[in-house]
Amino acid sequence: MERTILVYEKDRDVVKFLKSFFEERKHYSVHYVKKGKHTLGKEILVKKPDALIVSSPDGLAELQPSEIPCPIIAIISKDETKGIHSAIKSDVECYLIGPFYKEELDQKLKTLIDKSSLIESLYRDRKDLEALLELTSLASSTLNPKEVLYLIVKKISEILKVTRCSMISINAEDQRYAQVLSTFEDPSITNIRLDLEKYPEIRNALSSRKPVIIKDAQKDPLMKEVKEVITPLGIRSILVIPIFFREEIIGTMLLRTSRANHAFTKREIRLCVALANASSHALYNAFLFQKLYRENAKLEKLAITDYLTGIYNIRYFYSRLEEEFSRAERYQMPLSCIMLDIDHFKKINDSYGHRIGDFILREFAQIVKRYTRKSDLLARYGGEEFILLLPQTSLKGALIEARRLQKVVREIRFRQLREGQGITVSFGISCFPDKGVKNSDDLINFADNALYKAKEKGRDLIISHASL
C-alpha cells in the first residue's frame, strides 16, 4: 500500500538526503512543500499524508504541531540542542539528528505509520464497540420483538451505508419461502413474502450455516441464475448472516444486506455479524474490551520506547525527569544524571556497516539496562548517546555506578566485532543539589558538559561536573 509523505525542509543537504532515500523506496508518494506554512496547510488538507517530515527548530516554529492530523518527524540538521528542545516542546512523535542514516529514517517512518494505523484501528474498534453497546442498550429498552429487529437493521444501515438491510424469517418446515420481518427503509414494512428460488445466497446461508459474502453479484457464480433480475437493481455486494444461539439458528432468521458501490470490508462483515447477534453474543463484547485493552497497552509501550534499542525514548525521559526533579527539590533528596557516549562509534559503522552498528547499540543498551537498578531510568538520548537518571543518588553513588558500568562495558565481547575488539564509553555526571543546578535543564546540560570534557581528554573517562 502506497503511503503519502509531505516534506517541509529548506536545507539543501537534507533535501538531497531525503530525495535519495525516497528514490529507493517506491512504496512512498513524496511531496516537497517549498512556499511556507499556508501552502503546507493546503497540502495537508488535499494530500492527507501518512507522515510529515519537517525541520527543527525552524520548520516547527511555523506550525502548530497539535493541529497536524498526521505523525511528525522532526529533522535536526544544525543546532542540535535547540532542535531537540523544539521537538520535545512541540511534542512531535520522533526526531532525527544529523548525520542522517537511511536505516534510521526507514525504521522511524515504519514505526510511526504502524502506530498511526494502530490508532485508526483502535478508533474503529471503539466506534464498533460503542455501536454494540448502544444497540444492546436500545434493545433492552423494549420487550417488542419487532422493535428490537428494527433497531438492529436501522443501526447496521447507519453504520455501513447499505442499500438494503432486512431481517428475514425462514419457516423451518417450509424453506421455500421466507418473510421479511423488518427492513430499515420503513419500520411499518413487515411480513413481506419472499420466494427463495430467487435468493440463492439465502439458500446457501441456510444450508452451510455460515455467512455468505458476495463481493460482486455480477460475477459470482452463485448469483448466475438471478443475474438478469439483480442487474437493473444495481446491487453489487451482498452479505447474508445466519443468527445463531447455542448452535441453533434463532427462529431461522437471517440478516441480508446489500450495497451498490463497493464490497463489504472484513471489518464491516465482522461488525455486521456482531450486531446481528448482539442479543446472544455478550462474549463478543468482552472480546472487544480485551482487545482494546491489549492494543492500548501496546500503544502506550510504543509511545515511550525507542524503536531500535528497546529502552525508553527521550520524550518519556523528559517527562519523568520533571517529576523526579520536583520530588528531589521538594524533599531535598539527591538526584544524579549520567550521560554515556560510545567512543569512536562512527568507526564501527564505517568498518562493519550500519546494520552491525544497530546490533551493537541494541545489545549495549540491553546490557546497560541489565546492570542498572530498577529505580534508575535509562533512555536513548540520540545516536550512540544514552542518558541515565538516578533518583535518591548522590554524586558519590553516581560515580560508583559509572565505574561499575565502565568495567562491565570494557569486559563485553560483542559477537559482531572482530576477536579482541571491544568498545569503551565516556561518562559525564551531574548531581542535584548543586549551587549551579537550578532546574532539570541544568542537570542535563551539566552532565552533557562533563561528557564533552571526558571525550576531549581522551575518552573512556568518567568526569563529573563538580570536578570542572
Q: Residues with catalytic annotation?
A: 384
**270 contacts: CB under 8 Å, gap ≥ 6:** none
184 neighbors 153 (Cβ within 8 angstroms): yes
Q: How many CA atoms lie within 13 A of 202 on its CB side?
A: 26
160 neighbors 268 (Cβ within 8 angstroms): yes
Cell of 382: 540520540
Question: H helices within 140-225, ranges in order?
Answer: 145-160, 200-208
Tell me how far apart the alpha carbons of residues 23 and 101 are, in angstroms, rounded to a whole number.
15
Tell me how far apart the alpha carbons of residues 2 and 30 are, in angstroms, rounded to a whole number.
10
CA of 431: how far to CAs of 299, 327, 330, 361, in Å?
33, 14, 16, 26
Place of cell 438478469: 228
Q: Which residues pair with 147 in a beta bridge?
A: none
Q: For residue 119, give the amino acid letter.
A: I
Query: Helix crossing, 102-139 with 266-276: angle to 10°?
Result: 20
Q: Of 236, 252, 241, nearest to 276 (Cα)?
A: 241
Task: Give me the long-range contacts of 377-380 (CB less than 8 A, separation at least 24).
Answer: 377/312, 377/317, 377/320, 377/321, 377/324, 378/311, 378/312, 379/306, 379/311, 379/312, 379/313, 379/314, 379/316, 379/317, 380/306, 380/308, 380/309, 380/311, 380/312, 380/313, 380/314
